[in-house]
Amino acid sequence: MDRESECSKRGPASFAMPGLLQFLKAAFQQSNFTLAIPSVRMYRAAVPFAPGFSSFMIKEHAMSFSKWTVLAQDSDASGNAGAWVGTAIYLAVIVLMIVALWKVFEKAGKPGWAAIIPIYNTIILLEIVGRPVWWIVLLLIPCVGIVFAIIVMNDLSKSFGKGIGYTLGIIFLPFIFIPLLGFGDARYSGPAAATAR
C-alpha cells in the first residue's frame, strides 16, 4: 500500500507531522510544562510542482504560535478577557505616569506638555535637576545609561526636598512615587545638581 492511499484511508486528521512538533512535545513533557500542540490536517489538493507530496497540502492556520497552549492555560474567551484587563491596567498606568510627570514639570516651572514629547521631556528633566543637556547622550548608552538615570532620579528627589529613600522609591516603584511627587505637597526647591557644585 502506498503512502497516498494509506493517508487518504485514515482521513484528513490522521497524518502526524514528524520532526519539529514531536520534538517540541517531547521537550515540554520533560520540563514539567504542558503543551497542546495544534493538529496538522492534510487535505487533498492537486499540487503538480511538488512530486513527493502531490496530493497533500498542510493547512497553516493551526501552526500559529499564538494558538499554542503553554502551562495548561486555555486560549478561550476567559484568556482573552484577561488580556484585555491587563492591557487596560497597563494603559491606565501609562496615562497616570504622563499626567504625574506633567504635574512635576509644572511644579518646576516648566511647560507640562513637555512630558508627552519624547527626548524633549528628558531634556526638560535634565534642566529641572540641573544636569547638562549633553547627558542625554549618556542616558542612551547601554548599561552606562542606567547609572546616569539613577543619578538623575536622585537629583530629581533632592530638587523636591526628598532624600535617598524617595530616590529608591522612584527607581523601584515609579508608578507610585512619581505621582506622589506630582500630586503631593512636595515643592520644587531648585536644581539639586547645580547647588551641589
Q: What pLDDT score was predicted for residue 146?
A: 96
Residue spans of the domains in the chain: they are 3-74, 78-192
* DSSP sequence for 78-134: HHHHHHHHHHHHHHHHHHHHHHHHHHHHHHTTS-GGGGGSTTHHHHHHHHHHT--TT
The answer to whether 137 and 130 have CB atoms below 8 angstroms apart is: no
Nearest to 123 by CA among 137, 142, 106, 109: 137
Q: What pLDDT score was predicted for residue 72?
A: 47
Q: What pLDDT score was predicted for residue 94?
A: 96
Q: What pLDDT score was predicted for residue 192?
A: 84
* The pTM of the whole model exceeds 0.85: no
Reading the chain (197 residues) residue by residue, the pLDDT tens digits are 555 555 455 544 444 455 655 665 666 565 554 444 444 444 334 334 344 433 333 333 334 444 444 444 445 555 688 889 999 999 999 999 999 999 999 999 999 999 999 999 999 999 999 999 999 999 999 999 999 999 999 999 999 999 999 999 999 999 999 999 999 999 999 898 766 55
SS3 39: coil
